[in-house]
Amino acid sequence: MGLLRTMMPPRIQLLAVLAFGVAMLLIENQIQRLDESRAKLERTIARHEVAEVELRHTEDGGVRELAPLAENNDMVIIYNRVPKTASTSFTNIAYDLCGKNLFHVLHINTTKNNPVMSLQDQVRFVQNVTTWREMKPGFYHGHVAYLDFSKYGVKGKPMYINVVRDPIERLVSYYYFLRFGDDYRPGLRRRKQGDKKTFDECVSSGGSDCAPEKLWLQIPFFCGHHSECWNAGSKWALEQAKYNLVNEYLLVGVTEELEDFIMILEAALPRFFKGATELYRTGKRSHLRKTTEKKPPTKETIAKLQQSNIWKMENEFYEFALEQFQFVRAHAVREKDGELYVLAQSFFYEKIYPK
């Protein structure tokens, strides 16, 4: 072969090399097409096999799809709602859907809205949630700090969800709520009713209702029932709250993007939230509760609060929650023509054996 190559003119050698290269490219292209065809065939077969597994005949001879995993009637969701984060708006949706979607909604009403339970109440609550079969599937909501069910030796943990809000906006809303109430129960007298001092005036005069310590709420709600969680400015509490948010909560939304939060929940847990997005967009109850007589704080007031280490920690936690939510949303929905759409299922099963 070497002798033959030396006897061939250079031009012929070049053409031979080019012809060989083109032939190899054609062969590789054919192999790639065959691989793609094989993969497509495997996906088609896999979908057919999964469809056969998922379909069952009804008593009248018809065919229906099996209910999704979320149909599990032992499912429990706990929404340990932070005050003034649009929690009433979201909870109203659950109340509107519970009859249609066949689940129970239970309000956790603690004495004086104390978010920390006694040890004996912790045990009672855990036992109720895990063994109260008549209330399953259940949606529990209330202003209660996170409770780690794994500490109590029970089988099965509930799924936690929550919503957080910009810490200063949340505090301003709560400040005026205590003085003027809202349009949910306008006739109810609040404990600070009659106090006409604005939030700006409160901060300027160093009032207790607008002190930086009042910002310390979202971190302890996620941190839980440890004593250090309620030590304002605790770095340990901040890190524990972050850990729980990532590891113990199915989803944590933000008030400013509540509709996106509801949309993702409906896609992930249709057993509870089927129809929630449309209800939020068109319903009246979901937009009902608004604090009255609320005056936005000045830049000077905001700057003064932002000097506090407590604000810095609460804001760090809020930014952490916001980043995590936006990450989840980016992998769950897409925007088209100004509207958000939930992504369809992007995984499938194949090579299912035995046949």
Under 8 Å CB-to-CB from 166, ≥6 apart: which residues? 255, 256, 315, 318
Q: With contact defined as beta carbons under 8 Å apart, do 253 and 245 qualify?
A: no
Q: Which residue numbers are catalytic? A: 141, 143
The whole-angstrom separation of Cα 170 and Cα 8 is 85
Q: With contact defined as beta carbons under 8 Å apart, do 240 and 316 qualify?
A: no
Buried-exposed string 241-258: b where 16+ CB fall within 10 A, e elsewhere: bbebbeebbebbbbbeeb
Identify which of 256, 171, 152 has the alpha carbon closest to the alpha carbon of residue 210.
171
CA Rg value for the chain? 29
The whole-angstrom separation of Cα 278 and Cα 287 is 13
Which CA distances in Å does 145 have to 116, 122, 263? Answer: 6, 11, 25
